[in-house]
Each structure stands twice: as C-alpha cells, then as structure tokens.
Amino acid sequence: MSLLEVSGISVTFDGFRAINNLSFSIGPAELRAIIGPNGAGKTTFMDIVTGKTRPDEGKVLWGEKSVNLLKMNEAQIAQAGVGRKFQRPTVFEDQSVAENLMMALKAARSPWKVLFWRPAKPDHFRVEALAKEVGLGDQLDRKSGELSHGQKQWLEIGMLLAQEPRLLLVDEPAAGMTLAEREQTTALLVELSKSHAVVVVEHDMEFVRRLDCRVTVLHEGSVLAEGSLDHVTSNPQVIEVYLGR
C-alpha cells in the first residue's frame, strides 16, 4: 500500500524531455532519497507532484482512495497533505517568524474562514513549540528577513511541520547548514519518517548515507536505479553517469 503512486509520467519543455516515463511510489511511513546529476529531472518531478507542472502523460495517484492529483491545483494538493520545502529557503521575509509559522499552521484555508480566524491559545502554544523545535524559540517576533540563511532553512522546515503534511518533499535540506545542523536535520527527517512519507532530494552523498534509506537514482528524466545506497553506488551505470567522469 503506497501513499503516492506515480506511474509513467513524461513531460516535455520545447522539445526537451525533462521527465521520461518515470514511475515512483512511496509508502505512508517511509524515507526515500532521490539523487541524480543536474538536469536529471529531480525538481521537475517535485513540480509535477505538487501541481506546479502538468505532465504530458502518466498518472499521479494519492492516498488510500487513489485520488488523481493531476486534477488538482497546487493549493488543493497542499491541502491534501503534500508539503514541500524548496531548495532555496523561501520564507516571507517581510513577516515575523511567528506570522510565518501561523500562516503555515494546519487550519481552514478558505478566504472567508481565514478572515475571521484569530489564533486561540493552543495555536500560540503550537507555534511556540514548533519554533523551539527548529531552534527559533526566542526569535518569534523577528522579521524572518533578518534571519541567517541556516535559520531560514530551519524556519521553512518548521513551516513544513506546521502544515502537518502526510508527504514531505524536501529539496536539499542540508544546503547552507553547519555540520551540527545537518546532523540535527538528519535526525529530524529520520524521526519524521516513522509516521510520514518523506522524500529527500539531495546532492550530498554523505548526507544521504547518514539518512540510511532507500535511494532512487534519476537520470535524464527516468529512474536509473533503486535500492540501498550501497546497492546503487555499485551499479556501473550509476557510477558512469553520476560519479564517474
């Protein structure tokens, strides 16, 4: 039983086949790393799952009821439980850490309800707890634009958690973090994967090794190999396209 089932998707940009007959699936509590050289289609794959890009063909099914994600827009997909952390930290720099987290907090999303929504006590507690979890407990009132790059990464992870998604798509979470923070991130992701589906896109092999999970290798828009890190790194094709020069 898988949470996300992607089968046979292809997408073409101006004649360039970014994704070519790609299939992928992940269970409800699983950690998966996706690696691949630049242009392998990692980001496009995420774009398709989150609704930003429409594939030319293929199916993307979600959850127990096998809902077709291709018929939903970005917001509906996010509401269905797909959370995404971008490669570059994208937080709302003009707003405070608390506001950023409050916006991400799982709650009604329709304009009318949001207009009259005012945070209750539990919401404040939850925001404070999240901020503490990502090490921003004493930064709640600061404008997030003033944070350091690593803090922004953490804030974005905090926002991802606040959304309480069932599937987390995490794009290069370790970029811009210190060694200690990377370890903290690894621990967090592993912990999360006990109850969530987590997909990590990463360049950094060391980081992937620490995650100790199944690895999917993408190349030219399709899956080249899948299995444990040791398994895929011993695959000659993988060595050729990814490691070898």
By CB under 8 A, name the binding residues for another protein: 13-14, 16, 50, 52, 73-76, 78-79, 83-84, 86-90, 92-95, 99-100, 102-104, 109-112, 114-115, 117-119, 121, 124, 138-142, 146-151, 153, 159, 163, 172, 175-178, 181
Select 37 or 150, whichever has its Cβ closest to another protein. 150
H/E stretch holding 117 reads: none
A 10 A CB-CB count for 224 gives 19
Q: How far is the CB of 39 from another protein (least distance, A)?
A: 11
> Which residues are CB-contacts of 38 (< 8 A; sequence separation ≥ 6)?
none
Q: How far is the CB of 13 from another protein (least distance, A)?
A: 3
| Contact by Cβ (8 Å): 194, 170 | no
Select 47 or 232, whichever has its Cβ closest to another protein. 47
Q: How far is the CB of 2 from another protein (least distance, A)?
A: 22
Q: How far is the CB of 115 from another protein (least distance, A)?
A: 5
Select 31 or 159, whichever has its Cβ closest to another protein. 159
51: exposed, middle or buried (C-beta count within 10 Å: 0-12, 13-18, 19+)?
Answer: buried
Select 27 or 137, whichever has its Cβ closest to another protein. 137
A 10 A CB-CB count for 9 gives 27
Select 87 or 235, whichever has its Cβ closest to another protein. 87
Q: How far is the CB of 192 from another protein (least distance, A)?
A: 18
Q: What is the largest CA-CA distance in the chain?
A: 59
| Contact by Cβ (8 Å): 170, 198 | yes
In the chain, count H helices and then E strands: 10, 10
Q: How far is the CB of 228 from another protein (least distance, A)?
A: 28
Select 16 or 65, whichever has its Cβ closest to another protein. 16
Residue at token pair 């594939």: 55
Q: Identity (one letter) of the amino acid at 139?
A: Q
